[in-house]
Amino acid sequence: MVKTHQTPSQPTFANVSDSYQYQPWSITETHLDVSRLNQRETVFTIGNGYLGTRGNFEEGYGSSLPMTLIHGVYDDVPVMYTELANCPDWLSLAFLIEGERFTLDTGEILAYERTLDVRCGLLTRHITWRSPQGKELTFRFERFASLADCHQLNLRCEVTPLNFTGAIEVRASLNGYPANQGYNHWAIVDQGQRGEHVWLHTKTQQTQIDVAMAMGLRVLGLGQSATIDSLVLPGYPTWVARYQGQPHQTVTFEKQVVVFSSHEQPAPLAAALDHGTPSYEQSKLAHIHAWNNLWDQCDVLIEGDVRAQFALRYSLFQILICAPAEDEHVSIPAKTLSGTGYRGHVFWDTELFILPFLVYTQPQTARNLLTYRYHTLAGARRKAHHYGYKGAMFAWESAASGDEVTPRWAVPRDPYGQDVRIWCRDRALHITADIAYASWQYWRATGDDHWMACYGAEMILDGAQFWTSRVTHNPLADRYEICEVVGPDEYHEKVDNNAYTNRMVQWHLDKAIQLYDWLQHHDPQRAAHLDQQLGISDRQRARWQDIVDHIWIPMQGDLVEQCDGFFELQDIDLASYEPRTLSMHSILGVEQSNHYQVLKQPDVLMLMYLMRAAQEFPYGHLEQNWNYYAPRTDITYGSSLGPTIHAVLAADLGLADEAYDRFMQAVLVDLEDVRGNAAEGIHGASAGSVWQAAILGFGGVKFTDQGPVANPHLPAGWTRLKFKLQWRGNWYHFDLQPDHGTVAPAAFVPLSCATVDIRGVIFDLDGVLTDTAEFHYQAWQQLADEIGVPFNREINESLRGVSRQDSLLRILGDHQYSASELEVMMVRKNDHYTQLIEQINPAHVLPGVIRLLDQLQQAGIKLAVGSASKNARAVIQRLGIESRFDAIADGHSVTRSKPAPDLFLYAAQQLQLPPHQCIVIEDAAAGVEAAIAAGMWTVGLGPAERVGKAALVLPNLSNSHWLPQSHWPTMVDQLKQAIGN
């Protein structure tokens, strides 16, 4: 047998930095190392799937790069076409101590500690500082971007003078002058103050995207003796607090900011001002609760290796804070939302490196990311058309529209240096097959037929159309070829028959055929529609098959040749270039790299990895190909996408040390700045794919028709690897130890079979406890008559469970109104309604409700109301049943209305119960969906057409009784089946 190659003299990444303390859930930076300032700003990035904010100091620092990036907020820029615009800085908090400004680049740092706790998503910093004049103070900062309410940002600072009495001024601002490398994307539209908020409204220069922020400042610990004023500084709304500091007296400042952009909200300023912010503490609790729930599904526990444990959690944290859980129109940029690298453009990094973690833990978010590609189809078609091809040719670098945004040229800093043509924009074709691959894997793992029929199929089939126009037929050899491409290895820029590309095209077309046949059977109408729209016919299908059968994949025996002629290129001994800190590309030069057998990143091995993961025929022999390509791959300074792929394959091959080194190289890439460029932002592909290295590599997980199985080969020192993953609707728990052989799926218990132990019942209000629908109807009708838009009972019926604002938008349809006009209308409708509900009294409680409430109370079940109505509390009071409820979640409690699960989750949180211990009783389709999305048992009241998705459907509560849970088996089975579906 050939000796299996291990990469020589690779760094072990031990003790790279002496300024960190690693704990399983947190990292503490123990002193400020100014030479690493910008790298640490990347490392301490926080976010919530809507935006990301780098770890800048609130008080500022000379060479700092403050940055907040919001998904989808792109603006045009020369050369790079478009980039995520650095948004107004919400962190700014300045301190003047008797006229001396607190910054860490002046005075003396007496104590310093900064901690990121990824379990709770909290960033804290404790400083003791001596001013140039000798005044000493401690500062304790804490910040978080709420995961419970993604529009809400929170920052707290406790300030304690230690050795003086004197005037302290604190300025909390929104800084409307952020820049992307000196370029300011923003026009200030307006600013002002409303009540306890100062606000800032800005607009991107070219794309005209509005961003609005509203900021409040609370001062605690001073009684009445502080003065707080707003300052009108153009583009810089500010609250100023002034007080007389006393030794050892701690004063706390709580800065809370609400942000909206027109990317997700038509009137962002009104939304920001009206949003309503819970107190800092309440907000923090909700945030921690949300993280707790998320980690419950996403955590990977490693025992025996604290640094690997934290670094892995950190990587997953960085993905979770940029993964758009609520937006299907955006995707994760290569550098996440944490820096300017690659300008916020989206690459194959998302689909092949990041997505698997989400597919198996957060499938809804994975779906959003894939649906984003669906929304870019028009851009992909324009690109294909531009190059003279058919179908959809996806952008190598993608942003808002899906048009190609890879810059044409890289321009060197040296004024006499050569501009470099970036060929990926024209030739890195494999992205189209990569998207098809990712869509298929999502489908395979989730069984989401609806998504495949409505979204995935169109991408896969139109991508197939592109390939039919891009392949060429070589008549001499009677084979199909794809010439002049760039494969994953970008050191070779114009190659023929890149094995990765050709095999992925073969795979894509093969799947297109299967999908086409499936769709005709599963959804003939959709199939017919796509046939017509995309020009698919039986002839096309036959041509796809012909290409599958006759596409050329260069091989020599079991060794795959990366592209035609690769083995004839000049060979290289990478070990002879060690030690080095530069990529081989920089050492050899762009042109020369083409002539060597040196790879930027796995190419044939990437293919083998993907085919392994998909359990498809790989071509070639893994060990033989590893032995050839691994030593020729620039795994240290080539691409950060390489190490995790090598880690999985090395684990497969039993190369334990190599697998571990590659894993650590990836997992520490930003924390320890392994490649020296972490300042530009998190390496998203690396952060996402460490999950694959841990689960598929060390855990050896494979997916079978019976469910996932594990075949662990844990690195030396790891005593346990524990995680959950979701496969076809069920959760599987794995708890692996080094001596486990293959672990059969039967060893794992899907969560959906968990024992039911109901502890809480959450009641919707309208249609369940009482019927205010009639009053709502009358109030809407009055408003509609006043403004002259059509309205009737049928339209009213469609508003069940929908929030006031969303109801109004539905009623108005295409009519355009300004934010303030909308606001006035909502107030008017509410006025009508509040007048009407004054008639409500205890007689309006619906039949059966009081008896059921009594029985539930006797059984010790906690009770809550979960209603989208802002008047819910008033109505409950009038009904005379307020005292029966332990919690009321209403239209003030959360931002997103049903069908989002937030309201019920909030109610469960108030009851201090996990979702699966709660039953929701609902009469609206949106409410039933919300309850299911919240992971709760659901009882639907009303016709099955409306609430049929509920586990149990009843006409109303008039005959319902609460039975002791021992009497439940039948009902539980019913509930289980319904939830399982």
Query: Which residues are catalytic, by number?
Result: 490
Direct distance between the N- and C-terminal alpha carbons of the chain, in angstroms, rounded to an integer: 50
Angle between helices 642-652 and 622-629 (to 10 degrees): 140
Side chain identity at residue 730, one-letter code = N
Q: Are 506 and 548 in contact (CB under 8 A)?
A: yes
Q: Which of 403, 448, 462, 490 binds ligand BGC (CB under 6 A)?
A: 490
Q: Which of 280, 295, 347, 723 binds ligand BGC (CB under 6 A)?
A: 347
Nearer to ligand BGC, 347 or 394 (CB): 347
Nearer to ligand BGC, 645 or 710 (CB): 645
> Does 348 participate in binding ligand BGC (rule CB under 6 A)?
yes
> Does 584 participate in binding ligand BGC (rule CB under 6 A)?
no
Nearer to ligand BGC, 376 or 770 (CB): 376
Q: Which of 270, 641, 678, 924 binds ligand BGC (CB under 6 A)?
A: 641
Distance from C-alpha of 339 to C-alpha of 331, rounded to nearest angstrom: 15
> Does 600 participate in binding ligand BGC (rule CB under 6 A)?
yes
Distance from C-alpha of 461 to C-alpha of 511, rounded to nearest angstrom: 9
Nearer to ligand BGC, 342 or 904 (CB): 342
Q: Are 209 and 73 in contact (CB under 8 A)?
A: yes
In whole angstroms, the minimum distance from the beta carbon of 334 to ligand BGC comes to 4
In whole angstroms, the minimum distance from the beta carbon of 397 to ligand BGC comes to 8
The gap from C-alpha 385 to its chain's centroid, in whole angstroms, comes to: 32
In whole angstroms, the minimum distance from the beta carbon of 683 to ligand BGC comes to 7
* One-letter-per-residue 3-state SS of 127-180: EEEECCCCCEEEEEEEEEECCCCCCEEEEEEEEEECCCCEEEEEEEECECCCCE
In whole angstroms, the minimum distance from the beta carbon of 685 to ligand BGC comes to 5
In whole angstroms, the minimum distance from the beta carbon of 639 to ligand BGC comes to 4
> Does 334 participate in binding ligand BGC (rule CB under 6 A)?
yes
Nearer to ligand BGC, 69 or 641 (CB): 641
Nearer to ligand BGC, 141 or 353 (CB): 353
Single out the segment in contact with ligand BGC by CB under 6 A; choices: 39-47, 347-355, 364-372, 801-809: 347-355
Nearer to ligand BGC, 161 or 642 (CB): 642
Nearer to ligand BGC, 176 or 339 (CB): 339
In whole angstroms, the minimum distance from the beta carbon of 694 to ligand BGC comes to 20
> Does 680 participate in binding ligand BGC (rule CB under 6 A)?
no
Single out the segment in contact with ligand BGC by CB under 6 A; choices: 206-214, 342-350, 511-519, 906-914: 342-350
In whole angstroms, the minimum distance from the beta carbon of 342 to ligand BGC comes to 6
Site string for ligand BGC, 855-884 (x = CB under 6 A): ------------------------------
Angle CA 739–744–748, to nearest 5: 95
Side chain identity at residue 250, one-letter code = T
Q: What is the torsional sign of CA 33, 91, 318, 439?
A: negative
- Cα 372 to Cα 333, 354, 484, 775, 961: the distances in Å are 12, 14, 28, 40, 46
> Does 349 participate in binding ligand BGC (rule CB under 6 A)?
yes
Q: Are 879 and 842 in contact (CB under 8 A)?
A: yes
* One-letter-per-residue 3-state SS of 386-439: HCCCCCCCCCCCECCCCCCCCCCEECCCCCCCCCEECCHHHHCCHHHHHHHHHH
Nearer to ligand BGC, 84 or 269 (CB): 84
Nearer to ligand BGC, 191 or 432 (CB): 432
Tokens of 6: 């291990």
Near ligand BGC in 21-80, by CB under 6 A: none
Torsion angle defined by CA atoms of residues 87, 80, 370 and 204, in that order, rounded to the nearest 10 degrees: 30
Which residues make beta-bridge pairs with 798? none
Q: Which of 68, 283, 583, 639 binds ligand BGC (CB under 6 A)?
A: 639
In whole angstroms, the minimum distance from the beta carbon of 937 to ligand BGC comes to 43
What is the size of the binding site for ligand BGC (CB under 6 A)?
12
Which residues make beta-bridge pairs with 488? none
Q: Are 701 and 743 in contact (CB under 8 A)?
A: no
> Does 603 participate in binding ligand BGC (rule CB under 6 A)?
no
Tracing tokens 């919690």 back to the chain, one arrives at 887
In whole angstroms, the minimum distance from the beta carbon of 379 to ligand BGC comes to 18
Q: Are 453 and 439 in contact (CB under 8 A)?
A: no
Single out the segment in contact with ligand BGC by CB under 6 A; choices: 60-68, 283-291, 343-351, 617-625: 343-351
Distance from C-alpha of 757 to C-alpha of 607, rounded to nearest angstrom: 47
In whole angstroms, the minimum distance from the beta carbon of 406 to ligand BGC comes to 10
Contacts of 442 (CB under 8 A, 6+ apart): 355, 359, 363, 366, 367, 370, 448, 451, 456
Single out the segment in contact with ligand BGC by CB under 6 A; choices: 340-348, 519-527, 576-584, 629-637: 340-348
**DSSP-derived secondary structure letter, 61:** -
- Cα 632 to Cα 547, 603, 644: the distances in Å are 31, 11, 16
Write the Ramachandran bin of 884: left for phi over 0, alpha for psi from -120 to 50, otherwise beta: alpha
In whole angstroms, the minimum distance from the beta carbon of 336 to ligand BGC comes to 11
Radius of gyration of the chain from its Cα atoms, rounded to whole angstroms:
30
* E-assigned strand segments in 58-101: 68-70, 74-77, 81-84, 93-97, 100-101
Distance from C-alpha of 884 to C-alpha of 565, rounded to nearest angstrom: 79
Q: Which of 669, 685, 714, 849 binds ligand BGC (CB under 6 A)?
A: 685
Q: Are 682 and 42 in contact (CB under 8 A)?
A: yes
Near ligand BGC in 424-463, by CB under 6 A: none
Distance from C-alpha of 277 to C-alpha of 260, rounded to nearest angstrom: 14
Nearer to ligand BGC, 270 or 334 (CB): 334
Contacts of 765 (CB under 8 A, 6+ apart): 772, 865, 867, 869, 872, 875, 876
Q: Which of 175, 497, 601, 807 binds ligand BGC (CB under 6 A)?
A: 601
In whole angstroms, the minimum distance from the beta carbon of 640 to ligand BGC comes to 7
Nearer to ligand BGC, 354 or 384 (CB): 354
Tokens of 466: 């592109």
Nearer to ligand BGC, 678 or 710 (CB): 678
Single out the segment in contact with ligand BGC by CB under 6 A; choices: 268-276, 344-352, 450-458, 797-805: 344-352
Q: Which residues bind ligand BGC (CB under 6 A)?
A: 334, 342, 347-349, 488, 490, 600-601, 639, 641, 685
